[in-house]
Amino acid sequence: MTIEPVADRFCRYARVTTRSDEDSKTSPSTPGQWDLLRLLEEELRTLGLDEVALSEHGVLTATLPANIPTPAAAGVPTIGFLAHVDTYAGTPGEDVKPQRLVYRGGDVALPGDPDLVIRAAECPALAGYVGKEIITSDGTTLLGADDKAGVAEIMTALAILKAHPQRRHGRLRIGFTPDEEVGHGTDHFDVPAFGAAVAYTMDGSEPGEIEDETFCADTAVFTFTGHDHHPGYAKGILKNALLAMAELIGRLPRDAAPETTDGRESYLHAYTASGGVGEATLKVLVRSFTVDGLQALEQRLEAIRQAVELLHPGVRVAMRIDESYRNMKLKLDETPAAMAHALEAVRRAGLEPRTRPIRGGTDGARLTFAGLPTPNVFAGGLNFHSKSEWVAVEAMEQSVATILHLVDIWREAGERQAG
Ligand SMILES: [Zn+2]
């Protein structure tokens, strides 16, 4: 059995248009995602996986049964590998033309757009690939390594396991999901039916990276209730909700905004406002890596709210806090092997593991809180969501190796425990 190289497989998947659409009411949000899902469904069957199922909402799952004797298999948990088939909605992703080239150093020109180059200065990771093969788009679209690199890596690892039955492994579950980029990746994902003890989203960036932390996220919703009146006769009567809202926005800390923070720093972000003199609404994102940090920011907002009410007598300012999601590390720490084994797998793949907090939420975070601990592992791509997206072939190979090491490590640990 010849195994299709991961880069060839990736380029085939990249050519299928799967851009998602946040305004669509269907799942998947776009018909192109069905094309790739059906192709993958067919390929999983051809590879000989069991329980290949494509749900009505476009969630594709399959099983690679354990090939170790039952007593040993009993101690080896089912582990899952996940990737999303859609590409970022905000960047053209139709008719992607992957370009394979050996990187010779310096900037990388993209043939479809003479004005667009991948700048070495803005992409230090390029320096590690001189003399090696990388893949870009032609410059008119994104590439879709986010997350077809992850899809291709999982499929390649499965093909390798199938071709080498002497490689012993526990039961593996595979999940390919639609619409991650528009925030609906896990809407129709059935965690109990998936039936894995832990899972890994292969959806990270640089080789060696593993993400186990997300923000804790709330939304503060302010309602300003003023009093409208004919402006010609409004003296002493009219109370303008908009002025109170402007006051509140003006008092938000400039040094704790998305554009002035990074790494582990928290922020407050006024991101949408609407209304008029009589009533206005403002939404502020509250983000921190700890629940304490979140509460500190919310106390700060409450103090601002009170100050604004004092300055604008007659305008009522109400604040409501809506919980969005919590740092997945809080939950992941309950299953320490999930991360420990991922770190070990990266080391066995010859890389230095690096953990990095995600300044956002992920499908993995939602799944983790739904009972399936799911760290995010590198898939190799860089410059996600842009026309200058690229991936190194070696990085995809290292990701495949990491998947295979993860499978080994979970089996070894299970067998050790079973004695
Ligand atoms: Zn992704």
Same domain, 81 and 170: yes
Question: Which of 303, 325, 347 finishes a domain?
Answer: 325
Kindly state whether residue 336 falls inside one of the protein's structural domains.
yes
Backbone angles phi, psi at 323, to 5 degrees: -80, 130
Q: Is 90 exceeded by the pLDDT of residue 362?
A: no
Calculate how far, in angstroms, residue 383's C-alpha sits from the geometric centre of ligand 1.
12
Residues shown for the chain: 419
Distance from residue 392's CA to the centre of ligand 1 (Å): 17
| Residue 71 pLDDT class (50, 70, 90 cuts) | low
Give a yes or no: residue 300 inside a domain: yes
Total of domains in the chain: 2
d(CA 8, CA 359): 32
CA of 419 to the centre of ligand 1 (A): 39
Query: Same domain for 350 and 317?
Result: no
Do 242 and 109 have their domain in common? no
> What is the tens place of the pLDDT at every residue in 261-299?
999 999 999 999 999 999 999 999 999 999 999 999 999
- pLDDT at residue number 416: 86
Residue that finishes a domain, picked among 325, 346, 380: 325
Residue 1 lies in a domain: no
In Å, what is the CA distance from 222 to each residue of 228, 275, 276, 299, 351?
18, 11, 14, 14, 47
Structural domain of residue 314, as residue ranges? 222-325
Residue 363: predicted pLDDT: 86
Determine the distance separating the centroid of ligand 1 and the alpha carbon of 416, expressed in angstroms.
Answer: 34
pLDDT tens by residue, 167-226: 999 999 999 999 999 888 899 999 999 999 999 999 999 999 999 999 999 999 999 999
> What are the backbone angles phi and psi of residue 385, rounded to the nearest 5°?
70, 15
Residue 208 CA to ligand 1 centre (angstroms): 16
Task: Examine the residue annotation and report whether 23 is marked as an active-site residue of this protein.
Answer: no
Host H or E run for residue 287: strand 279-288
pLDDT at 199: 98
**Residue 361 pLDDT greater than 90, yes or no:** no
Query: Could you tell me which of 349, 344, 396 has the C-alpha nearest to residue 375?
Result: 344
Distance 136 CA to ligand 1 centre (A): 17
Q: Where are the beta strands (DSSP E) in 75-187?
A: 79-84, 99-102, 108-109, 117-118, 133-136, 172-177
pLDDT bracket for residue 69 (50, 70, 90): confident
Distance from residue 119's CA to the centre of ligand 1 (Å): 22
If you average pLDDT over residues 353-378, what whole number do you get?
A: 91
Measured in Å, residue 179 CA sits from the centre of ligand 1 at 10
The set of residues, in sequence order, having a beta carbon less than 8 Å from that of 288 and lying 6+ positions away, is 215, 216, 266, 294, 296, 297
Torsion sign, CA atoms 393, 398, 404, 407? negative
Last residue in a domain, options 305, 325, 345: 325
Return the pLDDT at 419: 66
Q: Retrieve residue 61's tokens.
A: 């799952």
CATH number, position 403: 3.40.630.10
For residue 363, report the distance from its CA to the centre of ligand 1, in Å: 9
Tell me the average pLDDT of the chain: 95
**Catalytic option among 146, 153, 180, 181:** 180
Q: How many CA atoms lie within 13 A of 104 on its CB side?
A: 3
In a domain, 387, yes or no: yes
User: Which pair of structure tokens corresponds to residue 65?
Assistant: 């049964």
Q: How confident is the model at residue 72 (pLDDT cuts 50, 70, 90)?
A: low
Distance 147 CA to ligand 1 centre (A): 5
Residue 415 confidence (pLDDT) above 80: yes
State yes or no: is 247 an active-site residue: no
302, 294 contact by CB (below 8 A): no
In whole angstroms, give the CA distance from residue 282 to residue 407.
48
Residue 95 has pLDDT above 90, yes or no: yes
Contacts of 17 by beta carbon, 8 Å cutoff, 6+ apart = 32, 35, 93, 94, 95, 96
Q: What integer is the mean pLDDT of 34-52?
A: 98
Catalytic, out of 41, 86, 247, 298 = 86
Inform me whether the pLDDT recorded for 91 exceeds 80. Answer: yes
320 and 335: one domain? no
**Residue 175 and residue 235 in one domain:** no
